[in-house]
Every structure is written in C-alpha cells, then in structure tokens.
Amino acid sequence: MNEPWDTQMQALGAFIRDKRKLANMSLRQLAERTKLSNPYLSQIERGLHQPSVRVIRLISDALNVSTETLLAQAGLLHRDSHGHAGPHQAPPDIEGAIRSERRLTDEQKSALIAVLRSMLPAE
C-alpha cells in the first residue's frame, strides 16, 4: 500500500475519533447518527478504510464539524500558505468534462472531482 496514503487515512481516522470523543459520543452513537455500521466507522477511525465524500459529509454533520475540515484531513482539500483550505486543482478541461457529463448526478460529479483532486500533487 501507499505509505503517504496510509498515513493520511490514519490521520483522518484519528481526527474523527478525537472529535467523537470530545463530543462524548460512543462509536455506536456515531453509527446511529450517520446510519453507517459500527464496524465500518471503526475501520475509518483506525485508518483502514478510505471514506467517500458522502460518508465524510455524514460524519461531519454528526460531529458538528465542517465538511471542509474533514475533507482537508482526508487530503481532498489542501491549505495554502495563508491557512485557507482549497482543492487541489485539476486541469480545467478535465473538470469541465466531468461537470458537463449529463449521466452523472451533481453529487457524483463532486465526488469524482474530489477524487481526481486528491490524486494530484499539492502545489
């Protein structure tokens, strides 16, 4: 497996676990709030599974943390030299093609662009 990616997923999982514990919430309670399984959330917290953008949104809502914060922890957004979060940029023609694809929903388009951006090196 890719070591930087493993480290990134472990950091995201630790961040989610810390936020959950700060909220005095059990893993079971988080599972109930997100409608995700307890074992799946446990795998995410241990850095063993890469959550989708949809799952990150569910978790961020349940933990009352911005989706942007969790996306940044997952490496789908990066912070510039001023500390502002922003996406890694893909060439506009690729993102434009994804956005113009009529067979995809807006959520699918956003997820696909987020995955594409996550694979690009930070500038």
CA–CA gap between residue 37 and residue 70 (Å, rounded): 19
pTM higher than 0.75: no
| pLDDT value of residue 32 | 96
Residue bearing the bigger pLDDT, 118 or 66: 66
Structure-token pair, residue 117: 């951006």
CA–CA gap between residue 113 and residue 34 (Å, rounded): 23
83 pLDDT above the threshold of 50: no
Cβ density class 90-101: b for 16+ within 10 Å, e for less: eeeeebeebeee
69 pLDDT above the threshold of 80: no
- Domain positions in the chain are 3-118
| pLDDT value of residue 59 | 94
| pLDDT value of residue 119 | 67
Expressed in angstroms, the distance from the first to the final Cα of the chain is 23
CA–CA gap between residue 28 and residue 83 (Å, rounded): 34
Q: Compute the average pLDDT of residues 67-91.
A: 58
For residue 10, the Cα-to-chain-centroid distance in whole angstroms is 12
Q: Compute the average pLDDT of residues 81-103.
A: 64
6 pLDDT above the threshold of 50: yes
| pLDDT value of residue 28 | 96
- Greatest Cα pair distance, the chain, in angstroms, is 45
Structure-token pair, residue 84: 């502002």
Classify domain 3-118 at the CATH class level.
mainly alpha
Give the mean pLDDT of the chain: 78
How does pLDDT run across 27-58, given as a tens digit for each residue? 999 999 999 999 999 999 998 988 888 898 89
Place of tokens 């497996």: 1
The stretches of 23-66 forming alpha helices (DSSP H) are 27-34, 38-45, 53-63
